[in-house]
Each structure stands twice: as C-alpha cells, then as structure tokens.
Amino acid sequence: MDSLVSRRGRRKIGVERSCRRRIEAAKTAVSHEGHIASS
C-alpha cells in the first residue's frame, strides 16, 4: 500500500511541475510579445 501512495504523490508532483512549466512558458511568451509590441 505504501508504494501506491508514493506513486500517487509522485504523480501529483509531476503534474504540478508540468503546470508550472506551462505557466512559465506562457509568461515568457507574453513578455516576448510585449517587447516586440513596445519596439
């Protein structure tokens, strides 16, 4: 049972990391668009 719980926890961590990566990518994309628009 312990292995099952740890697997779920690792999955949650992986999902959170992927979500953060998407958010960071979106932020960088927006900032790049802003730089292009300002220039």
Question: Over the stretch 1-39, which tens digit does the pLDDT of each residue have?
Answer: 567 777 778 888 888 899 899 999 999 988 877 777 666
39, HSE (Cβ side, Cα atoms, 13 Å)? 6
This prediction's pTM: 0.48
Of 39, 24, 37, 9, whose CA–CA distance to 1 is shortest? 9
- pLDDT at residue number 39: 60
CA separation, residue 8 to residues 19, 22, 34 (Å): 17, 21, 39
